[in-house]
Structure 1
Amino acid sequence: MAEFDVDLFVIGAGSGGTRAARIAAGHGARVMIAEEDRIGGTCVVRGCVPKKLFVYASRFAEDFEDAAGFGWTLDSRPTFDWPTLRDAVANEVTRLSGLYRKGLEGAKVAVREERAVIEGPHSVRLVKSGETVTARHILVATGGWPSFDPPIPGGELGISSNEVFHLPTLPRRMLVVGGGYIALEFASLFARLGVAVTLLHRGDNILRGFDEDIRTRLRDALAHAGVTLRLGCTIERIEELADGTRRAHCAQGAPIEADVVLVATGRRPNTRGLGLDKAGVVRGPLGEIVVDAASTSNVPSIHAVGDVTNRVNLTPVAIREGHAFADSTFGSRSWTVDHATVASAVFTTPEVGTVGLSEGQAVDAGHEVKVFESGFRPMKATISGRHERTYMKLVVDAANDRVLGVHILGHDAGEIVQAVAIAITMGATKADFDRTVALHPSAAEELVTMRSPRAG
């Protein structure tokens, strides 16, 4: 008789958990996975996938306008229908969730659609059925959850990014609270869908942690696109008026009234009530599971991947961590994930793509840097007449010529930076960029044609 019911029990069927489950099963492990919500996790169900589809929808308004400069005439003024978009996106989420389930079942992973909690180093309890399952290894992949930090009176009158995809009607006015990428993406896309958007952020600038030149230029671009910015401002309370309007009272300046208040002030690792304390698992200050490079906690049989560890909170990172864990634990190859050069994008309009160190981070790390940059009007805008600028920046180590970081603001920035990330990961130098023949005409060619470093 087997010592344990399964070799691996995975809590959370998001991107990282499902990848780990499928790879482990492929190595011959007996695997069970539990998900209390919808299979697919944050990215598929309430995050990057539906949000990107919303972003696509928001950009059509400018595309219709730009078409006139290229000779197109629309017979009537385009109109937008929120329920059509909302329901189409919901249907796509359902389809993708089904594919995730099909993938698990095809890999012979036992699926339990209910909450699971840890009872000990090798024991998990399924809450709804009451079943207890013993496991040689337990993997926690429960992701993150929106947080209103710090809590304020009336905070329950706001919604989070979980609910924003299901609004019954398109609001006329929206207040977005926060200055990170989630807040900015929703502020940007709803403004382009015709909503009067105010962005309120307690910091003096948006997108903390990104390169300063990108932060400043994106802030200005959002303002030009019609987003009202209230920076250096904090909310003291939210109240509901008789007609259902939300009124946010601020510590600085006049109150803000809106039909919807979207609170996007951050996310916390989703570890509450999982039974981690019962098993003796150490957590960090935000509740994150503290793990080593191999994604193992202080309890050798309990592991964690993805946002629940609060390392690099991106879906592709969770997928690679899950894959590495499964290969290392159940396969013949042991490897870990390099978190040093992970590309990321912010799907505002204009878009941000970045990989490597910002200029400030490079200086703080002790590098003497040379900065190369290019700002230009994209070719499409010369005919459409749109006020639009693209900005690209290379941060280079002056001592060895290695490119430490690439930062892009403009159309398809995320697509461009994904390819550039390969070069950065390989340790490319500025000379390598220089000897690469440009592809003309393209925006990306600017990355290999910058010759003079910025003065000063």
Structure 2
Amino acid sequence: MAEQEYDYDLFVIGAGSGGVRASRIAASHGARVAVAEEYRVGGTCVIRGCVPKKLLVYGSHFAEELQDASNYGWTVEKMHFDWPTLRDAVLKDVDRLNDAYTTTLENNKVERFLERATITGPHGVRLASGRDITAKYILVATGAWPLMPEFEGNEHCITSNEVFHLPELPRRIVIQGAGYIALEFAGIFNALGSAVTVVNRSDAILRGYDETLRDRLLQITMARGITYRFNCPITKVEKQEDGCLHVWVKGAQDPIPADAVLVATGRRPNVAGLGLETAGVELGERGEIRVDDTAKTTCDSIYAVGDVTDRVQLTPVAIREGHAFADRVFGNKDVRIDYACIPSAVFSQPPLAGVGLTEGQARNAYGNVKVYSSDFRPMKNIFAHRPERGLYKMIVDAQTDRVLGIHMIGPDSPEILQAAAIAVKAGLTKADFDATVALHPSMAEELVLMR
């Protein structure tokens, strides 16, 4: 088939962060681009993920701030929280962002099909309406989908997709999982006044994060009233006549009563029914689309970016992958993604953030490392009479003095870490940090005062 016979130069399946960026950049290089999205433009992050969740985090913080206000001389009377008000405000902003992403595509002359698309071959796509389309290249950017374990009564449970649409604030909520999604929602509902029970199939939270910070977060959240039950996955959920849910967990004699059950046990690549087999696109062990360092699949004309590849499930990574793909294929730029030193954060309460190697990872890789830390009480907690302490850690290669990782827990940690991540990525040394004058009084100054 000659190149001019294709309907489009690029057809993108999935209008999330990676798909939209790839579409826009490819179009800017002169490509004829179309994108199909079966739900809403914006993807997981914008529609049912990190953005609306962060807005809920902000909303939940007011519970703490209003309680602390009296210690700063403020009189706050008749405090009352209304879940529908916060929920609807968040959903309204999701609508705004959906419109903004749609406008971005329109302004870049990217044609949109608001329906499901499946692959029919190396250059073929079929829309749900029955229309067949051809494209020189196809990009799969369908993201990931919440994983719902198999157990009796799981139809009574919700995932992070549905949690933003709860009709009312649950008085009691059980959350299965102890990853970042589970702990972020645990903090939100705990702050808003719900009784929160976290059940997990293992005995640890936030696997992959620095162990010392994980322990600190566990202690603080337990003190805030969150109940943890480890090695206790859900075995059954029963709905009672009054609407109450009885949650049975492994080894328990009695059920946990709840008004809502949120399952946050991970996400899997969203590849079901895409027709990848028609083009010889191979999947990995976890169901992810296998790609090389140029995002190319095992079919030369089909590429994939973002969570569907299960490399690093972070929105900024999907955006960079989409941008790099478009620059390589349509802009004649050999751009490759460097996956080292990607910062990440957990918007728990308090938040946790890290970049680079953890202490355990550094010892395994380098053997001889130095660990510097600062264990301090944030100034904002002094009038609040909270004993919670912040903790910053710096992991340093003992041979070269290069900073291998920075990890922190405490107020505003994600905001502080972004700048610190630049230093780690640049390969700066502990001496470089020591030579920097502290910005006082601030929590961030602890980064240059660690000894």
TM over 0.5: same fold? Answer: yes
Tell me which residue corresponds to 1:153.
152
**1:242 and 2:241 equivalent?**
yes
How many Å separate the matches in 2 of 1:196 and 1:431?
46
Within-5 A mapping of 1:321-336: 321-336=321-336
Instruction: Report the alpha carbon displacement of residue 366 of structure 1 after superposing the two structures with TM.
Output: 3.5
How many Å separate the matches in 1 of 2:382 and 2:281?
58
What letter is aligned with 1:219?
A: L
Instruction: Report the alpha carbon displacement of residue 384 of structure 1 after superposing the two structures with TM.
Output: 2.4
Within-5 A mapping of 1:221-236: 221-236=220-235
Within-5 A mapping of 1:11-160: 11-74=13-76, 76-127=77-128, 129-149=129-149, 151-160=150-159
Give runs of ≥4 in structure 1 deviating > 3 Å: none
What letter is aligned with 1:47?
A: G
Cα deviations across residues 208-265 of structure 1 (Å, max 9, x unaligned)? 1111001101111111111111112122111111211111111123321100000001
User: Given that residues 210 and 359 in structure 2 are in contact (C-alpha distance below 8 angstroms), is that contact kept between their aligned partners in structure 1?
Assistant: yes
**1:273 and 2:273 equivalent?**
yes
Instruction: Report the alpha carbon displacement of residue 365 of structure 1 after superposing the two structures with TM.
Output: 2.0
How many Å separate the matches in 1 of 2:298 and 2:376?
51
How many Å separate the matches in 1 of 2:127 and 2:340?
37
Tell me which residue corresponds to 1:181.
180
Within-5 A mapping of 1:234-313: 234-253=233-252, 254-313=254-313
User: Given that residues 146 and 268 in structure 1 are in contact (C-alpha distance below 8 angstroms), is that contact kept between their aligned partners in structure 2?
Assistant: yes
Cα deviations across residues 416-453 of structure 1 (Å, max 9, x unaligned)? 111111111101111111111110000011111112xx
Tell me which residue corresponds to 1:374.
374
User: Given that residues 10 and 135 in structure 2 are in contact (C-alpha distance below 8 angstroms), is that contact kept between their aligned partners in structure 1?
Assistant: yes
Aligned with 2:5: secondary structure?
A: coil
Within-5 A mapping of 1:189-208: 189-208=188-207
What letter is aligned with 2:47?
A: V
How many Å separate the matches in 1 of 2:420 and 2:320?
19
How many Å separate the matches in 1 of 2:266 and 2:388?
29
Aligned with 1:384: secondary structure?
A: coil
How many Å separate the matches in 2 of 1:385 and 1:49?
31
How many Å separate the matches in 1 of 2:355 and 2:141?
25
Within-5 A mapping of 1:342-381: 342-381=342-381
How many Å separate the matches in 2 of 1:439 and 1:217?
25
How many Å separate the matches in 2 of 1:110 and 1:368?
55
Single out whichever of 151-160 and 28-37 deviates more from structure 2.
151-160
Instruction: Report the alpha carbon displacement of residue 364 of structure 1 after superposing the two structures with TM.
Output: 2.1
What letter is aligned with 2:383?
A: I
User: Given that residues 145 and 268 in structure 2 are in contact (C-alpha distance below 8 angstroms), is that contact kept between their aligned partners in structure 1?
Assistant: yes
What letter is aligned with 1:109?
A: V
Tell me which residue corresponds to 2:212.
213
Tell me which residue corresponds to 2:384.
384
How many Å separate the matches in 1 of 2:99 and 2:380?
39
Compute the RMSD of aligned alpha carbons: 1.0
Single out whichever of 201-210 and 34-43 deviates more from structure 2.
201-210
Aligned with 2:287: secondary structure?
A: coil
How many Å separate the matches in 2 of 1:306 and 1:445?
35
Normalised by the size of structure 1, how large is the TM-score? Answer: 0.97
- Consecutive unaligned residues of structure 1, counting only runs of 5 or more, are 452-456
Aligned with 1:84: secondary structure?
A: helix
Aligned with 2:134: secondary structure?
A: strand
How many Å separate the matches in 2 of 1:432 and 1:292?
36
How many Å separate the matches in 1 of 2:251 and 2:374?
37
How many Å separate the matches in 1 of 2:166 and 2:287?
30
How many Å separate the matches in 1 of 2:370 and 2:98?
46
What letter is aligned with 2:376?
A: F
How many Å separate the matches in 2 of 1:384 and 1:251?
39
How many Å separate the matches in 1 of 2:397 and 2:244?
53
User: Given that residues 357 and 404 in structure 2 are in contact (C-alpha distance below 8 angstroms), is that contact kept between their aligned partners in structure 1?
Assistant: yes
Tell me which residue corresponds to 2:444.
444
Normalised by the size of structure 2, how large is the TM-score? Answer: 0.98
How many Å separate the matches in 2 of 1:393 and 1:54?
28
User: Given that residues 283 and 289 in structure 1 are in contact (C-alpha distance below 8 angstroms), is that contact kept between their aligned partners in structure 2?
Assistant: yes
What letter is aligned with 1:395?
A: I
User: Given that residues 66 and 386 in structure 1 are in contact (C-alpha distance below 8 angstroms), is that contact kept between their aligned partners in structure 2?
Assistant: no
Task: State the percentage of identical aligned residues.
Answer: 58
Instruction: Report the alpha carbon displacement of residue 276 of structure 1 after superposing the two structures with TM.
Output: 0.5
Cα deviations across residues 307-328 of structure 1 (Å, max 9, x unaligned)? 0000010000000000000001
Aligned with 1:287: secondary structure?
A: coil
How many Å separate the matches in 1 of 2:207 and 2:378?
27
How many Å separate the matches in 2 of 1:218 and 1:148?
26
Single out whichever of 190-199 and 248-257 deviates more from structure 2.
248-257
- Consecutive unaligned residues of structure 2, counting only runs of 5 or more, are none
How many Å separate the matches in 1 of 2:68 and 2:243?
37
Cα deviations across residues 307-366 of structure 1 (Å, max 9, x unaligned)? 000001000000000000000110032111111111011001100111011111112224
Aligned with 2:382: secondary structure?
A: helix
User: Given that residues 68 and 384 in structure 1 are in contact (C-alpha distance below 8 angstroms), is that contact kept between their aligned partners in structure 2?
Assistant: no
Cα deviations across residues 5-46 of structure 1 (Å, max 9, x unaligned)? 100000000000000000000000000000000100000000
How many Å separate the matches in 2 of 1:300 and 1:361?
36
Instruction: Report the alpha carbon displacement of residue 386 of structure 1 after superposing the two structures with TM.
Output: 2.1
